[in-house]
């Protein structure tokens, strides 16, 4: 007896609707996910791996998404966890060289801007992981504090402090402002 289900007992039309809805939500934010994973990994191939694993996990757990408007946060949360898991799984060595700059930035960016971006990302690499992630999400992607709270599974005050402390550390690392005042503030944090 054919009741419209395949061998596994799943309705193929239901699966198709889920795929269509997932792809409809993914298409407009795919480039943001790509940029986010690239900002975290600073390596195009690893960023593709993290993004691919993120999309796979997101599709598998798509049913747990309560509202469509939270899809980007949903993806960034998964990407953050995938990246953290990969970092714990193995220690990687990456030399800073010209190839990294070429790999990270397209040819349409002027060389002086690309150099500034490279310096910024090098300074970001020196920050603790949660501070770096909070700054990238807030200042580079423009996400609201509440979404960052969801992604980092932290309170609003924790996220705001991570951003504040991270910016102060970045100021010292990048040589902005008074070094003695900034160094004193860093020590008090």
* Alpha helices for the chain (secondary structure H): 12-26, 30-41, 44-60, 71-89, 98-104, 111-125, 129-135, 145-152, 156-174, 179-188
Helix (H, G, I), strand (E, B) or coil at 94: coil
Please tell me whether residue 11 adopts helix, strand or coil conformation: coil
Query: Residue 132's CB: how many other CB atoms inside 10 A?
Result: 21
pLDDT tens by residue, 16-70: 888 999 999 999 999 999 999 998 888 889 899 999 999 999 999 998 998 999 9
- Distance (Å, rounded) from C-alpha 34 to C-alpha 41? 11
Global pTM?
Answer: 0.63
Query: So what's the pLDDT on residue 12?
Result: 80
> Is 163:138 a contact under the CB 8 Å cutoff?
yes
Question: Whole-angstrom Cα distance, residue 139 to residue 143?
Answer: 8
- In this structure, what is the dihedral angle of CA atoms 171, 172, 173, 175, given to the nearest 10 degrees? 80
Q: Is the pLDDT of residue 147 over 60?
A: yes
* Virtual torsion, Cα 142, 54, 163, 39, nearest 10 deg: -80
Both structure tokens of 98 = 């010209």
**From residue 52, how far is each of 32, 75, 96, 107 by CA, in Å?**
13, 11, 25, 25
């Amino acid at each position: 007896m054919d009741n419209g289900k395949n061998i596994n007992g799943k309705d193929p039309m239901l699966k198709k609707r889920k795929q269509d809805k997932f792809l409809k939500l993914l298409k407009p934010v795919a480039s943001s996910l790509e940029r986010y994973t690239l900002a975290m990994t600073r390596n195009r191939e690893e960023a593709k791996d993290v993004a691919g694993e993120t999309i796979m996990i997101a599709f598998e757990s798509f049913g747990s998404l309560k509202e469509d408007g939270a899809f980007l946060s949903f993806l960034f949360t998964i990407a953050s966890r995938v990246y953290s898991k990969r970092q714990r799984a193995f220690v990687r060595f990456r030399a800073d060289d010209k190839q990294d700059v070429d790999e990270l930035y397209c040819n349409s960016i002027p060389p002086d801007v690309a150099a500034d971006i490279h310096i910024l990302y090098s300074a970001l690499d020196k920050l603790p992981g949660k501070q770096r992630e909070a700054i990238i999400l807030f200042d580079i992607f423009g996400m609201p504090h509440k979404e960052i709270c969801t992604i980092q599974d932290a309170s609003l005050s924790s996220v705001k402090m991570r951003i504040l402390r991270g910016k102060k550390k970045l100021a010292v690392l990048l040589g902005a402002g008074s070094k003695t005042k900034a160094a004193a503030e860093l020590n008090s944090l």
